[in-house]
């Protein structure tokens, strides 16, 4: 008789877990409903590249160059001129109140300087309290301004020059040409949603047995730590797989996220990720003494992993120490994998390192959980 | 070979010694009652025996397996019924039994479960959630689940707490039936009538084993003298007796008083004084009961729960 591992005993534990899962209707509904809800909510709500931001215009003169400039800015889609202020003070008040995100000031001598070729200047003030909101708008500025100027001058110049002046505004963002946030957010959401449900559910796996008093009985019967661990985490691997399919189908149907890479590759990477998550949750449950503690530990883990993984904020925008900290979260690697596979069409070669890290997480978490598992009630 | 053979078991939680050098031997086929007040270390001792706790000191074997190194083998051969119902309340009766049968790798599972349900008289309720069962039925289910794999030793931790007298009677009939088939049983209890149904009893108090033997032996070895006092105004007599040297216990039983003491001479002197002071009081020597012995033990041992 094999005392360390038996598939029959693992089978017993698996059947039991599935029955309990099925009977806990609310939790079960949560596991399927919550991902979809979160996807729809966040997918539509989060936008890292906001457009049509309210803008105030301070234009002293009303010459053709000023008009050209204003219409060019409006054409970018970032600026929406809601207010025409009579003075700089008035515009500043609007910004202070948060009514506008930008103030565009075109000085009175703008046209004269253009005609004289004497370094014409316009002033754009951005409300930087939300830097990510302003960044896209600001980044297109200098190009738009110079092109608008060329065009305005071209109208009066010779035919050849005017042809050259008919330039289009080009904002170049690789992999996501239109700068659609959803393309960035939705693959990330897949990871965050999986992390939420998988870690939380498994974090309570053992503490629930302890709190209900069934742990004593389970330990008194012949079952090895490895069997108990797999019996607890494998059912959630199945749930995770279902969640993943739901989110991917929704990503395609609701947000038309392009899918460039290999589906098989993505699915395999997701499975490794989910395995790492459920084992992490299980490790938490070997440490927590109550379900409440398990919840707290899970949340303690959630926040930094969402903040530092590159889901919420651009990873490269963080200081070096924060990037290092971000490396300890499986979500960081998963985000790189999904974005690379879905948007860039990366092959295994390109994401091998990230997958390797996820496998390492699996091994470390499983090892820790098995070491931490208390075979006795001591 | 003894089914249980442990000596010098010590278990400490923090600076509290919960089990203090407990030695115990239980022969095969014996039913041994494990008695003691709440928090005396009964549960801890039983948990050490079935491998759920490792002792800080002491050695021993259960069914010939070392309690320190062979706990997995012990788990396979022992049936342990926990004090609190510890099967899955969100699983049906049938599913719980199937789970246990699979964990012990009993084949075919269906047959084992069907037979157990039949014996329990629960066949018609197999699809009922275990959490909806009454206390008595939960206890029967738990017992059935822990004898399904035909263990050689049964460890029962207060199995009849909160169960009605009829169910208790049936439970004990079942225990005796199993023991006559060669099963060894160690059962912890608070009930004196249950203690008297055991072949032998062991009394533990605050971690220390105070007495062990048959009921008659334990009563005899306690060396207590009991007198039964009858007459008018027994409440006043009781108040007069209480606290006198030699008088350890004064307890009203219906129309009589049981007066118990460990020093026969002092007790008789005290009673003689009281007899003189109160007219119409009669004294007759009485039989010391197991309960008297336990009360004596409990008041004599120092409380380590504080």
Report the CATH number that the domain containing residue B274 is assigned in CATH.
Answer: 3.30.70.920
Q: How much is the ipTM here? A: 0.83
Instruction: Answer yes or no: do B82 and A220 touch at CB < 8 A.
Output: yes
Nearest to A376 among B53, B101, B103 (CB): B53
Nearest to B72 among A13, A216, A222 (CB): A222
- Residue B195 and residue B236 share a domain: no
Nearest to A216 among B78, B82, B89 (CB): B82
Give a yes or no: residue B115 inside a domain: no
pLDDT tens per residue across span A264-307: 898 899 999 999 999 999 999 998 888 888 888 898 888 888 88
Chain A CA closest to residue B131: A212
- Residue B195 and residue B51 share a domain: yes
Distance CA B202, CA B6 (A): 13
Q: Which of B60, B27, B46 minimizes the C-alpha distance to B214?
A: B27
User: Phi-psi region for residue A345, left (φ > 0), alpha (ψ -120 to 50) or beta?
Assistant: left
Q: Lowest-confidence range among A9-18, A91-100, A167-176, B291-300?
A: A167-176
The fold for domain A53-165 equals abc type-2 transporter like fold (3.40.1710)
Q: Which of B221, B212, B218 minimizes the C-alpha distance to B7?
A: B212
Instruction: Answer yes or no: do A8 and B102 touch at CB < 8 A.
Output: yes
- Residue B82 and residue B23 share a domain: yes
User: Residue A171's pLDDT is what?
Assistant: 32
Q: Of B163, B191, B219, which residue constitutes the final position of a domain?
A: B219
What does DSSP assign to residue A167?
Answer: P
> Is 90 exceeded by the pLDDT of residue B57?
yes
Instruction: Answer yes or no: do B90 and A20 touch at CB < 8 A.
Output: yes
Chain A CA closest to residue B80: A220
Task: Mutation target for B interface from A216, A226, A374: give the one with most B CBs within 10 A.
Answer: A216
Distance CA A260, CA A249 (A): 15
Give a yes or no: residue B113 inside a domain: no
In three-state secondary structure terms, A73 is helix
Nearest to A378 among B54, B86, B104 (CB): B54
* Mean pLDDT of the A225-254 span: 88
Which H/E stretch holds residue B218?
A: helix B215-222
* Mean pLDDT of the B30-54 span: 91
- Residue B82 and residue B155 share a domain: yes
In three-state secondary structure terms, A107 is coil
- Residue B267 and residue B135 share a domain: no
* Mean pLDDT of the A355-377 span: 90
Distances (CA, A) of A160 to A69, A151, A170, B38: 22, 12, 22, 103
Burial A142-154 (b: 16+ CB within 10 A, else e): ebbbebbbbbbbb
Higher pLDDT, A100 or B172: B172
Higher pLDDT, A14 or A21: A14
Give a yes or no: residue B193 inside a domain: yes
> How far does B150 lie from chain A, in Å, by closest CA?
13
- Residue B233 and residue B211 share a domain: no
User: Residue B162's pLDDT is what?
Assistant: 79
Give me the percent of chain A exceeding a pLDDT of 70: 81
Distance CA A210, CA A88 (A): 67
Q: Which of B196, B145, B139 minimizes the C-alpha distance to B168?
A: B139
What is the DSSP code string of B159-179?
Answer: TTTT--HHHHHHHHHHHHHHH
> Is 90 exceeded by the pLDDT of residue B200?
yes
User: Residue A49's pLDDT is what?
Assistant: 66
- Residue B155 and residue B201 share a domain: yes
Mean pLDDT of chain B: 89
User: Residue B305's pLDDT is what?
Assistant: 42
User: The tokens 């503690």 sit on which residue?
Assistant: A293
Q: What are the chain A neighbours of B89 within 8 Å (beta carbons)?
A: 212
Instruction: Answer yes or no: do B102 and A12 touch at CB < 8 A.
Output: yes
Chain B CA closest to residue A375: B52
| Chain A contacts to B (CB-CB under 8 A) | 1, 3, 6, 8-9, 11-13, 15-16, 19-20, 23-24, 212-217, 219-224, 375-378
Q: How many residues does chain A have?
A: 378
* Mean pLDDT of the B182-200 span: 90
| Chain B contacts to A (CB-CB under 8 A) | 47, 50-54, 71-73, 75-76, 78, 80, 82, 84-91, 95, 98-105
Q: How many residues does chain B have?
A: 306
> Is 50 exceeded by the pLDDT of residue A172?
no
* Mean pLDDT of the B231-247 span: 86
Whether residue B108 has a cis bond before it, omega within 30° of 0: yes
Q: Which of B169, B183, B174, B171 minimizes the C-alpha distance to B26?
A: B183
* Mean pLDDT of the B216-232 span: 90
User: Residue A125's pLDDT is what?
Assistant: 77
Across the strands, what pairs with B60?
Answer: B6
Chain B CA closest to residue A221: B75
User: Residue B45's pLDDT is what?
Assistant: 94
Give a yes or no: residue B108 inside a domain: no
> Is 50 exceeded by the pLDDT of residue A196?
yes
B47 pLDDT band, cuts 50/70/90, is very high
* Mean pLDDT of the A207-233 span: 90
Give a yes or no: residue B142 inside a domain: yes
Under 8 Å between Cβ of B175 and B147: no
> Is 50 exceeded by the pLDDT of residue A164?
no
Q: What are the chain B neighbours of A217 within 8 Å (beta carbons)?
A: 80, 82, 86-87
> How far does A235 lie from chain B, in Å, by closest CA?
16
User: The tokens 């079935």 sit on which residue?
Assistant: B50
The most confident of A152-161, A248-257, B49-58, by mean pLDDT: B49-58
Give a yes or no: residue B197 inside a domain: yes
Instruction: Answer yes or no: do B52 and A219 touch at CB < 8 A.
Output: yes
CB pairs under 8 A between A and B: 82
Higher pLDDT, B195 or A25: B195
A138 pLDDT band, cuts 50/70/90, is low
* Mean pLDDT of the B187-203 span: 90
Q: What are the chain B neighbours of A24 within 8 Å (beta carbons)?
A: 90
pLDDT tens per residue across span A48-67: 666 778 888 888 777 887 78
Instruction: Answer yes or no: do A23 and B102 touch at CB < 8 A.
Output: no
> Is 70 exceeded by the pLDDT of residue B192?
yes
A167 pLDDT band, cuts 50/70/90, is very low
Nearest to A223 among B98, B101, B103 (CB): B103
- Residue B11 and residue B144 share a domain: yes
Give a yes or no: residue B143 inside a domain: yes
> Is 70 exceeded by the pLDDT of residue A241?
yes
User: Residue A132's pLDDT is what?
Assistant: 61
Instruction: Answer yes or no: do A23 and B90 touch at CB < 8 A.
Output: yes
Nearest to A220 among B50, B85, B95 (CB): B50
Nearest to A378 among B53, B75, B98 (CB): B53
User: Residue A30's pLDDT is what?
Assistant: 75
Token pair of A340, please? 């690379």
B22 pLDDT band, cuts 50/70/90, is very high
Burial class for A353, CB neighbours closer than 10 Å (0-12, 13-18, 19+): exposed
Higher pLDDT, B146 or A316: B146
> How far does B45 lie from chain A, in Å, by closest CA?
13
Chain B CA closest to residue A210: B86
pLDDT tens per residue across span B273-299: 888 888 888 889 988 888 888 888 887
Nearest to A217 among B76, B87, B104 (CB): B87
* Mean pLDDT of the A219-234 span: 90
Chain B CA closest to residue A208: B88
- Residue B154 and residue B43 share a domain: yes
Q: Please state, as a whole number, how many other Cβ atoms lie within 10 Å of the Cβ of residue A26.
A: 8
B273: containing domain: 225-287
In three-state secondary structure terms, B228 is strand
Give me the percent of chain B exceeding a pLDDT of 70: 98
- Residue B234 and residue B215 share a domain: no
> Is 50 exceeded by the pLDDT of residue A173?
no
- Residue B198 and residue B167 share a domain: yes
B53: CB partners within 8 A, 6+ apart? A376, A377, A378, B11, B44, B47
> Is 50 exceeded by the pLDDT of residue A163?
no
User: Residue A366's pLDDT is what?
Assistant: 93
Burial A223-259 (b: 16+ CB within 10 A, else e): bbbebbbbbbbbbbbebbeebbebbbebbeeebebeb
Its pTM stands at 0.76
> CA A273, A207, B186 angle in degrees (round to 5)?
135
- Residue B237 and residue B210 share a domain: no
User: Residue A143's pLDDT is what?
Assistant: 66
Counting the structural domains of chain B, the total is 2
Domain boundaries, chain A: 7-47+180-372, 53-165
Nearest to B84 among A12, A213, A375 (CB): A213
Instruction: Answer yes or no: do B82 and A13 touch at CB < 8 A.
Output: no
Higher pLDDT, A97 or A299: A299
Q: What are the chain A neighbours of B99 within 8 Å (beta carbons)?
A: 12, 15-16
Give a yes or no: residue B76 inside a domain: yes
Give me the percent of chain B exceeding a pLDDT of 90: 46
Q: Lowest-confidence range among A162-166, A186-190, B81-85, B156-160?
A: A162-166
* Mean pLDDT of the A367-377 span: 86
Instruction: Answer yes or no: do B105 and A8 touch at CB < 8 A.
Output: yes
Q: Of B190, B219, B248, which residue constitutes the final position of a domain?
A: B219
> Is 60 exceeded by the pLDDT of residue A1?
no
Distances (CA, A) of A75 to A63, A81, A178, A209, B227: 19, 11, 14, 61, 109
């Amino acid at each position: 008789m094999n005392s360390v591992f038996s598939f029959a005993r693992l089978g017993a534990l698996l059947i039991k877990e599935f029955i309990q899962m099925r009977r806990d209707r609310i939790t079960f509904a949560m596991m399927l409903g919550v991902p979809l809800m979160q996807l729809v909510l966040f997918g539509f709500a989060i936008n890292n590249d906001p457009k049509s931001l309210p803008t105030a215009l301070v234009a002293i003169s009303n010459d053709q160059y000023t008009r050209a400039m204003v219409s060019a800015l409006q054409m970018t889609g970032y600026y929406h001129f809601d207010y025409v202020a009579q003075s700089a003070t008035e515009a500043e008040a609007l910004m202070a109140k948060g009514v506008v995100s930008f103030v565009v000031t075109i000085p009175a001598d703008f046209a004269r300087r253009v005609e004289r070729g004497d370094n014409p200047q316009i002033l754009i003030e951005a409300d930087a309290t939300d830097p990510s909101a302003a960044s896209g708008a600001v980044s297109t500025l200098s190009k738009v301004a110079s092109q608008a100027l060329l065009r305005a001058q071209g109208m009066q110049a010779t035919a050849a020059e005017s042809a050259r002046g008919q330039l289009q505004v080009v904002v170049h963002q690789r992999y996501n040409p239109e700068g659609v946030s959803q393309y960035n957010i939705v693959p990330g959401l897949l990871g965050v949603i999986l992390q939420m449900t998988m870690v939380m559910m498994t974090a309570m796996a053992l503490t629930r047995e302890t709190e209900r008093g069934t742990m004593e009985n389970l330990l008194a019967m012949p079952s090895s730590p490895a069997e108990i661990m797999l019996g607890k985490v494998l059912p959630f691997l199945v749930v995770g797989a279902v969640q993943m399919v739901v989110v991917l189908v929704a990503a395609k149907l609701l947000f038309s996220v392009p899918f460039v890479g290999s589906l098989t590759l993505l699915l395999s990477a997701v499975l490794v990720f989910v395995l790492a998550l459920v084992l992490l949750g299980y490790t938490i449950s070997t440490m927590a003494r109550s379900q409440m503690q398990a919840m707290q530990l899970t949340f303690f883990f959630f926040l930094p992993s969402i903040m530092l993984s590159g889901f919420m904020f651009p990873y490269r925008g963080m200081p070096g120490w924060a990037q290092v900290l971000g490396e300890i979260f499986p979500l960081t690697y998963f985000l790189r994998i999904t974005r690379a596979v879905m948007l860039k069409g990366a092959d295994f070669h390109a994401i091998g390192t990230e997958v390797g890290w996820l496998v390492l997480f699996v091994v470390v978490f499983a090892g820790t959980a098995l070491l931490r598992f208390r075979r006795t009630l001591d | 070979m003894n089914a249980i053979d442990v000596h010098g078991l010590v278990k400490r939680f923090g600076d509290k010694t919960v089990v203090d050098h407990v030695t115990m031997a239980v022969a095969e086929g014996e039913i041994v009652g494990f008695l003691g007040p709440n928090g005396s270390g009964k549960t801890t001792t039983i948990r050490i025996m079935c491998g759920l706790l490792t002792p800080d000191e002491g050695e021993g074997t259960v069914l010939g397996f070392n309690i320190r190194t062979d706990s997995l083998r012990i788990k396979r051969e022992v049936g342990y019924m926990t004090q609190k119902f510890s099967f899955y309340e969100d699983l049906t009766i049938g599913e719980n039994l199937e789970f246990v049968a699979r964990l012990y790798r009993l084949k075919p599972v269906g047959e084992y479960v069907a037979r157990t349900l039949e014996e329990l008289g629960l066949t018609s309720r197999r699809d009922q959630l275990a959490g909806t069962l009454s206390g008595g039925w939960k206890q029967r289910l738990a017992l059935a689940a822990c004898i399904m794999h035909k263990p050689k030793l049964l460890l029962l931790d207060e199995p009849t707490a909160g169960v009605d007298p009829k169910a208790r009677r049936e439970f004990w009939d079942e225990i005796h039936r199993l023991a006559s088939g060669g099963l060894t049983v160690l059962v912890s209890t608070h009930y004196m009538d249950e203690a008297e149904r055991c072949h032998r009893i062991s009394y533990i108090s605050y971690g220390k084993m105070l007495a062990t033997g048959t009921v008659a032996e334990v009563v005899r070895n306690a060396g207590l003298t009991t007198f039964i006092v009858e007459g008018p105004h027994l409440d006043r007599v009781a108040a007069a007796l209480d606290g006198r040297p030699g008088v350890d216990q004064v307890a009203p039983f219906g129309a009589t008083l049981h007066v118990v003491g460990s020093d026969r001479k002092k007790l008789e002197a005290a009673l003689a004084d009281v007899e003189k002071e109160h007219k119409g009081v009669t004294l007759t020597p009485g039989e010391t009961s197991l309960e008297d012995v336990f009360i004596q033990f409990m008041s004599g041992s120092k409380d380590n729960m504080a």
